Amino acid sequence: MEVLIQLWIAQGFLHSTYGNRHLEDIGREYFMDLLWRSFFQDVQRDIVGEIGKCKMHDLIHDLAQLVAGEECTILYPDREKVVGRTRHVAFHSSNSLPDIPALLPKPNKMRTLLLGIPILPRLDDELNLNNAVLELNKSVSNTLISSFKCLRALNLSQSSIQKVPNSIGKLEHLRFLDLSRNKDIKLLPASITKLQNLQTLRLDYCLKLKELPEETRNLISLRHLGLDGCNSLTHMPPGLIKLTALQTLSLYILGKKKSSLSKPMGGLGDLDGLDELRGDLWIKGLEHSRSSASEAKAANLERKRHLQWLILEWDRESSDESDKAIANDEQLLQNLRPHLNLNLLSIFGYAGVTLSSWVSSLSNLTAIQIANCKWLQHIPPLDRFPFLERLYLKNLSELKYIGNDGSDVSSSPLKILRTLTLINLPKLSGWRKTRETDHLPLFPSFPSLYHLFISNCSMMYLTISSSSSPFSDLSKLKHLYLEELEELEYLPLEWLQNLTSLEALGIWDCRKMRVSISPLFQHLTSLENLSILRCKELISNENEDGAHGLGPTRFGHLSIVGVPNLVSLPRELRDVTTLQGIQIMDCPSLVSLPEWIGDLTSLKELGVVNCPNLMSLPEGMCRLTSLRRLTIAECPCLEERCEQGTGEDWPKIAHVPNFRNGGDGNRKEWGASLIHQTLKMQEQSKVIKTLPQTLSTIRFLFMKWVVGIMWIFLQSVWIRQIHFFKETWYN
């Protein structure tokens, strides 16, 4: 949505009746009006609530195309040159690029050229971003820029250009320039700073971009500077404080000044005048400002009331761990106090022992992410954040308790917390420090918790094992993942009884864990996915009749990897007719598959890798009529028996349409398929995406579709009439 609105502004389609209103806000209202009238549909939002994806109905698209007429067009490879009235052009493929001057006989009439956006050749075709990379060589880009001097919007994203020509500075009317995802661009020409009408400059995912032009401060009209994914940037140019209209600055790099002869660099003080910043701001390289912590106060983050997400990062690898560094970090963080409207806060690599007092005052926070803070011992009481939905804690070596000592855990109002991720917290013992006389649960009530991920928290096994109910209320929990709890031997029955809504359970690298299937199936009646990786033993009920009738009603996928004592499939699976996928890998003791496997009538995928003692397949394989994919690899005897046409077991599996038997590449390819469900579940458990560019990836996919399909048609006539439509609709 944001790129679409930026294009509207570039073409002058939006006007502010009142001088104090941002055009972006007006454009957002127009977009929402169109959404409300079903011009768009099926909206999906990202983590900060921005629209990340939507659809446009075919009939609405046809209407927009009819209204736009010849003013807008898409050029296909077989298309003749455009008519004189055309002002806005998108190229379907790179095949037409060398002929641009011939195809567009009146370059001075052109206002929009979209060259880096994949456009569907037909509405029924599927959008494939992987085929969207263009090959725009230097001569073509020079021709473009020298011929079309009246352009308002130019998109060269994904065009594989390595160098932006100096002639870019001649496009004096240009307001929108997209150079994103050109991974070979290292520097921008100084002439680009002559574009004093430029409002939007998108450089997202220019992976090799090292620096911005020193005179970037001359882009006085700049409103949006996209730098997501520019991981090679070493510093920011000085003087950005002059860009007072800037609203988007997702990345700000603090460089290391090596000597007095080093290039001029921007500091935290250059953020002072940028009070219109909105969305997310990621400040990197804070370790270079330790000696000038007072400069952080000059950034005046507290005045930036539109910011939604603030990310503060110190480089953990180069961080000084001395007492002086710790004190400087604490003072630096204290001076980086943001506005109270902030919704998301991320802190990486901070060397302080405690967080600043202002953190507790951010009562509007919906998500907190704290990672790689080696010395951090205390976190503010979370009852200060009544709207907290996501909490992510990772690599906090000294953190023992999340709540304050002696706090009443039962009164903690974490009623809407949905995701909780705890990774590599070796000293974490619980939410609070309990006394022997306490009878409270070790963790507060989480009545809305949806995802729970616990990894490599070596003391947590005591919390789980010693308490019959370590978590007092997990009735809404749908995804639970336990990883590298190496001392954990079992899951308490009382805990399982509380997980009535659990859909996905992952137990990974709990080397002493004995996983018993019967209680899992008996109590986890909503379970759909079970993933067991490198656990000591998988225990099945030896009494087959006792297992009869047990099992979740929607259980669909089972993955077992690295369980050395697994001899056969658990008997409890026999009556699970909903099971669709079974993957077994690295189980050397597996000697047979049960005959009753033929009763799994819904089974569609079966994989067995590196189970060398599995000698044959049961006759029941013939009854698996729904089986569509069968993989057998690193099972020498079984591979021989399953040879196509000649193997003894071939008649049992001849009906399977996709059969892979042996081969060096099977393990890697099947292994990827095996862990797909596991990784998908693990991804769902993350509280906040680790890097802010994930946000722009979501927006990118949406914008590529919208700008390519819709915007090229939804133009002057529609936008110029929106205000009229709005008035007539309500009157």
* Secondary structure letter of residue 477 according to DSSP: -
Q: Which residue has the higher pLDDT, 20 or 581?
A: 581
Q: How far apart are CA 679 and CA 685, in angstroms?
A: 10
pLDDT at res. 665: 41
Q: How far apart are CA 128 and CA 120, in angstroms?
A: 9
Burial class (CB in 10 A: 0-12, 13-18, 19+), 334: middle
List the Cα angle 645/650/653 in 5-degree steps: 125
pLDDT at res. 218: 95
**Location of structure tokens 């509380």:** 498
Helix/strand/coil for 495:
helix
Closest CA to 1 of 22, 21, 27, 26: 27
Say if CB 53 and CB 2 are below 8 A apart: no
**CA separation, residue 334 to residues 297, 349, 357, 385 (Å):** 8, 15, 8, 19
Which tokens go with 563? 């369980």
The pTM score is 0.82
Kindly report, residue by residue over 546-555, the tens digit of the pLDDT: 444 456 889 9
Amino acid at 352: G
Closest CA to 576 of 628, 522, 650: 522
Kindly report, residue by residue over 565-589, the tens digit of the pLDDT: 899 898 889 889 899 999 999 999 9
Amino acid at 176: F
- Helices 23-36 & 716-730, crossing angle to 10 degrees? 70
pLDDT band at 245 (very low <50, low <70, confident <90, very high): very high
Kindly report, residue by residue over 161-214, the tens digit of the pLDDT: 888 988 899 899 999 999 999 999 999 999 999 999 999 999 999 999 999 999
Which tokens go with 639? 């591979």
Q: Residue 300: left (phi > 0), alpha (psi -120 to 50), or beta?
A: left
Kindly report, residue by residue over 502-528, the tens digit of the pLDDT: 999 999 998 888 888 888 888 898 999
pLDDT at res. 669: 53
Closest CA to 573 of 592, 557, 591: 557
Kindly report, residue by residue over 379-424, the tens digit of the pLDDT: 888 888 999 999 999 999 999 888 654 444 444 557 899 999 999 9
Q: How far apart are CA 479 and CA 366, in angstroms?
A: 20
Give the DSSP H or E segment for 225: strand 224-226
Say if CB 82 and CB 89 are below 8 A apart: yes
Q: Which residue has the higher pLDDT, 706 or 386?
A: 386
**CA separation, residue 458 to residues 156, 488, 528, 535 (Å):** 50, 9, 28, 16
**CA separation, residue 563 to residues 510, 585, 617 (Å):** 11, 8, 20
Q: What's CA 386's distance to the chain center, in Å?
A: 25
The DSSP-derived string for 655-669 is T-SEEEE--HHHHHH
Q: How many CB atoms lie within 10 A of CB 226?
A: 26
Kindly report, residue by residue over 638-668, the tens digit of the pLDDT: 999 999 989 999 999 999 999 998 764 445 5
Q: How far apart are CA 215 and CA 2, in angstroms?
A: 26
Instruction: Name, in order, each residue with C-beta under 8 angstroms of 423's C-beta and a sequence gap of 6 or more.
Output: 393, 394, 395, 453, 454, 455, 456, 457
- Provide the mean pLDDT of the chain: 79
Q: How far apart are CA 112 and CA 715, in angstroms?
A: 11
pLDDT band at 216 (very low <50, low <70, confident <90, very high): very high
pLDDT at res. 675: 47
Burial class (CB in 10 A: 0-12, 13-18, 19+), 131: exposed
pLDDT at res. 471: 63
**CA separation, residue 477 to residues 160, 483, 495, 556, 725 (Å):** 45, 17, 12, 18, 46
Phi, psi of 259 (to 5 degrees): -160, 175
Kindly report, residue by residue over 230-244, the tens digit of the pLDDT: 999 999 999 999 999
Q: Which residue has the higher pLDDT, 647 or 259?
A: 647
Amino acid at 522: Q
For residues 160, 166, 172 and 175, what is the CA-based torsion angle, rounded to 10 degrees?
30
pLDDT at res. 30: 87
Phi, psi of 192 (to 5 degrees): -65, -20
Instruction: Name, in order, each residue with C-beta under 8 angstroms of 155's C-beta and a sequence gap of 6 or more.
Output: 113, 114, 115, 116, 117, 176, 178, 707
pLDDT band at 729 (very low <50, low <70, confident <90, very high): very low
Closest CA to 682 of 451, 510, 490: 451
**Location of structure tokens 């600043």:** 356
Phi, psi of 659 (to 5 degrees): -120, 130
Kindly report, residue by residue over 310-325, the tens digit of the pLDDT: 999 998 665 556 677 7
Instruction: Name, in order, each residue with C-beta under 8 angstroms of 317's C-beta and a sequence gap of 6 or more.
Output: none
